[in-house]
């Protein structure tokens, strides 16, 4: 069960990396996440059931997610619709798109090939194939992100999130940076959806409900534990945070709680993690006042 949770944590960490690109760098939450995640899964699973190789099916899912992010970016920058509302509009519309793609609310991969089958010749123990897949996917994504952030384009993207007014004064096309960020982040999120759908063996139209909470939990847990980090370390911290989150969910299940309420437990865990910095700050202030009083 622990290995299974670790493998799940690795795949969900990809979702956290995608959310990080908008939530932490551009400094706004993108609700498109809850649409692009199941869209990536739906496109991937549908492609596999139609005879397309899993690797190409996964890439198709990524492409679909990028298109969803692009639409949100255009609504936000060109349509002047607030980013949260733009994300909600796209998320709502994607529900119908997913149904159109799958032709059914859920679609199974029973007796169909998946990416994990590529490791059959290695004769790995149970769940270790997913761990290996997660390591490969995370290695590729983190390497690409680090390379991107160290380019002039990536620095312009970071500058847009840090100080948009200053970025504009330096000649950076901030609207283009936002569109780029939303497109890339939703592609990464869709990749997570595609990989998790293959791991679970099915895609479901409602799979995206609450996934933004899981992604945010991965980011926040990693930041709370490790605090001051370089960019590379922050990306790795998201992976660690995602694994810890999945282990916490495993503990909740082992304690005998009804799995029907996992979304509630997820929200409570995230709320608790978000409050930790404030609690620590309050305790530090209290300690400081006590020292002054003495």
Helices 2-20 and 33-49: angle between axes, nearest 10 degrees: 120
Place 285 in a pLDDT band, splitting at 50, 70 and 90.
low
pLDDT at position 140, please?
94
Residue 30 has pLDDT above 70, yes or no: yes
pLDDT at position 209, please?
85
Average pLDDT over all residues of the chain: 88
278: in domain: no
Helices (H), ranges, 78-206: 83-102, 128-149, 152-162, 164-169, 174-200
183: in domain: yes
Do residues 37 and 190 make contact, with C-beta atoms less than 8 angstroms apart?
yes
Q: Which domain holds residue 194?
A: 2-206
220: in domain: no
Do residues 39 and 167 make contact, with C-beta atoms less than 8 angstroms apart?
no
The domain tally of the chain equals 1
Place 290 in a pLDDT band, splitting at 50, 70 and 90.
low
pLDDT at position 121, please?
82
294: in domain: no
Question: In 150-160, which positions are buried (b, 16+ CB within 10 angstroms) versus exposed (e)?
Answer: eeeebebbbbb
Least confident of 201-205, 212-216, 217-221, 250-254: 250-254
pLDDT at position 208, please?
86
Residue 284 has pLDDT above 70, yes or no: no
192: in domain: yes
Cα 170 to the center of its chain, rounded Å: 31
99: in domain: yes
Q: pTM value?
A: 0.91
pLDDT at position 156, please?
92
pLDDT at position 226, please?
81
Which is more confidently placed, 88 or 273? 88
Decide: helix, strand or coil at residue 28: coil
101: in domain: yes
pLDDT in tens, 206-241: 888 888 888 888 888 888 888 778 888 899 999 999
Structure tokens at 76: 């936000």
pLDDT at position 32, please?
93
Do residues 85 and 29 make contact, with C-beta atoms less than 8 angstroms apart?
no
DSSP character at residue 79: S
Phi-psi region of 227 (alpha: psi -120 to 50; beta: other; left: phi over 0): left
Residue 65 has pLDDT above 90, yes or no: yes
Q: What angle do CA 248, 37, 189 make, to 5 degrees?
A: 80
176: in domain: yes
pLDDT in tens, 66-80: 999 999 999 999 999
Please give the C-alpha separations between residue 34 and each of 31, 147, 186, 232, 265, in angstroms, as whole numbers.
6, 27, 10, 26, 18
Decide: helix, strand or coil at residue 106: strand
pLDDT in tens, 81-132: 998 999 999 999 999 999 999 999 999 998 899 998 888 888 788 888 888 9
């Amino acid at each position: 069960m622990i290995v299974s949770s670790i493998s799940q944590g690795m795949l969900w960490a990809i979702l956290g990396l995608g959310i990080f690109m908008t939530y932490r760098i551009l400094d706004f939450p993108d609700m498109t996440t809850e649409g692009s995640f199941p869209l990536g899964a739906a496109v991937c699973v549908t492609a596999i059931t139609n005879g397309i190789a899993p690797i190409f099916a996964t890439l198709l899912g990524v492409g679909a997610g990028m298109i969803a992010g692009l639409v949100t970016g255009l609504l936000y920058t060109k349509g002047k619709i607030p980013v949260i509302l733009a994300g909600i509009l796209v998320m709502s519309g994607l529900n119908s798109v997913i149904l159109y793609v799958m032709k059914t609310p859920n679609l199974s991969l029973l007796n169909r090939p998946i990416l994990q089958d590529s490791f059959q010749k290695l004769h790995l123990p149970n769940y270790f194939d997913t761990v290996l897949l997660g390591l490969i996917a995370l290695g590729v994504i983190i390497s690409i992100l680090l390379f991107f952030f160290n380019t002039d384009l990536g620095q312009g993207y970071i500058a847009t999130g840090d100080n948009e007014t200053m970025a504009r004064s330096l000649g950076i096309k901030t609207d283009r940076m936002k569109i780029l960020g939303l497109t890339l982040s939703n592609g990464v999120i869709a990749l997570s959806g595609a990989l998790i759908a293959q791991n679970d063996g099915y895609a479901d139209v409602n799979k995206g409900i609450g996934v933004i909470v899981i992604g945010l939990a991965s980011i926040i847990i990693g930041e709370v534990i490790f605090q001051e980090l370089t960019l590379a370390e922050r990306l790795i911290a998201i992976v660690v945070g995602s694994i810890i989150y999945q282990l916490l969910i495993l503990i909740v299940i082992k304690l005998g709680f009804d799995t029907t309420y996992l979304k509630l437990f997820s929200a409570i865990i995230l709320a608790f993690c978000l409050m930790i910095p404030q609690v620590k700050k309050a305790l530090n202030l209290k300690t400081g006042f006590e020292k002054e009083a003495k």
